[in-house]
Chain A
Amino acid sequence: MLVRWSDWDTPFDSFADLRRRFDRLFDEVGAPRREGSGHAGRLELTDEGERFVFRAELPGVAEKDVDLVVEDDVLTLRAKRSVEPPAGWVAHRRERPAYEVARAFTLPTRVDAERSVATLEHGVLTVSLPKERAAVPRKIQIQSRA
């Protein structure tokens, strides 16, 4: 026997449509949580004893668009990327934000700007900031009194 599902389904069509609408709504609300949406990616500073290491996720930023200044104990970072859809193309998804970073960080100690080195690799900026000699931790030998 042939069951005509299409006829049977008809009254539920509006429900299916409603469900689809809700799905779409929730797709928008609960869009995948992204790292660094609306601004640049993560920034972090680690203390490695003799030096600080500063890392910044800057995907899509060219070297010429990064400006980095170290002065005494202040690190200033400026970076920018623009995301322009190519002309004549239809955009289906636009999640990658254009962003501009302009931030100054006060480091816990003064650093040696002369020996600081920065690299930009695979969209991650890594800055090595050697501490000033006086700020480097020193192990103190304990003397026993005989």
Chain B
Amino acid sequence: MTAIDTQKKDNAPAERVEQRPTATPAVDIYENRDQIVLLADLPGVSPANLTVHFERGELLLRGSREASGDRPAFDYVRSFVLPKGIDGEAIAAELDAGVLKVTLSKPPQKSRQIPVRAKV
């Protein structure tokens, strides 16, 4: 009898691993010769509730929002794999009117013209 009870328990809906629901913020990414700029809409996120994390070439954004009205608290989460050679120390992030702007510096381009010699 006990065994059956245990089994019943096992069939209960699986527990959620994520504690808080998450949402994917809308993002723009622009690039020029020296920089990559990432813009993300994070309305209602204060600088204190926002983390921008860079590790092993991956940029992770996470912004928390408090519960408001009938919506429970949730997190904006999004991560990006950055091109190789991005200087982690030179990443700048600023939050203005609910829009996050992350500026990344690209490694200097070392291009070299290789002269071709003709064999006579």
- How many angstroms between the C-alpha atoms of A123 and B97 in the bound complex? 4
Per-residue interface assignment for chain B, residues 67 to 92, with 1 indicating a CB less than 8 Å from any chain A CB and 0 otherwise: 01111000000100000000000000
Chain A: CB-nearest residue to B74 = A35
Interface size band for A? 35 or more
Interface size band for B? 20 to 34
- Say whether B59 faces chain A, with CB atoms less than 8 Å apart: no
Chain B: CB-nearest residue to A86 = B30
Give the tally of cross-chain contacts (CB within 8 A): 97
Chain B: CB-nearest residue to A48 = B69
- How many angstroms between the C-alpha atoms of A55 and B42 in the bound complex? 15
- B interface, over-half SS: strand
- How many angstroms between the C-alpha atoms of A34 and B24 in the bound complex? 6
Q: Please state if A88 and B32 are interface contacts (CB–CB under 8 Å).
A: yes
- A interface, over-half SS: loop
- Say whether A103 faces chain B, with CB atoms less than 8 Å apart: no
Indicate which residue in A32, A45, A90, A91 contacts B24 across the interface (CB closer than 8 Å): A32
Interface residues of B in 1-42 (CB under 8 A from A): 23-32, 37, 39-42
Chain B: CB-nearest residue to A45 = B69
Q: Please state if A35 and B23 are interface contacts (CB–CB under 8 Å).
A: yes
Per-residue interface assignment for chain A, residues 25 to 61, with 1 indicating a CB less than 8 Å from any chain B CB and 0 otherwise: 0000000111111000110111000000101011111
- Say whether B51 faces chain A, with CB atoms less than 8 Å apart: no
Q: Please state if B45 and A97 are interface contacts (CB–CB under 8 Å).
A: no
- How many angstroms between the C-alpha atoms of A94 and B45 in the bound complex? 21
- Say whether A89 faces chain B, with CB atoms less than 8 Å apart: yes
- Say whether A75 faces chain B, with CB atoms less than 8 Å apart: no
Given A122-B43, A123-B43; A93-B27 close (CB under 8 Å): yes
Per-residue interface assignment for chain B, residues 42 to 53, with 1 indicating a CB less than 8 Å from any chain A CB and 0 otherwise: 111110000000
Q: Please state if A57 and B69 are interface contacts (CB–CB under 8 Å).
A: no
Given A58-B98, A60-B97, A60-B99; A124-B44 close (CB under 8 Å): yes
Given A35-B25, A95-B26, A123-B41, 4 more A-B residue pairs with CB atoms under 8 Å apart are: A36-B41, A55-B69, A59-B42, A122-B45
B: which residues have CB within 8 A of A? 23-32, 37, 39-46, 68-71, 78, 95, 97-99
List 24 interface pairs A-B (beta carbons < 8 Å), by A numbering. Answer: A34-B24, A35-B23, A35-B26, A35-B41, A55-B68, A57-B43, A59-B41, A59-B42, A59-B97, A59-B99, A60-B97, A60-B99, A61-B97, A89-B32, A90-B30, A91-B29, A93-B28, A93-B29, A96-B26, A96-B39, A96-B41, A122-B43, A122-B44, A122-B98
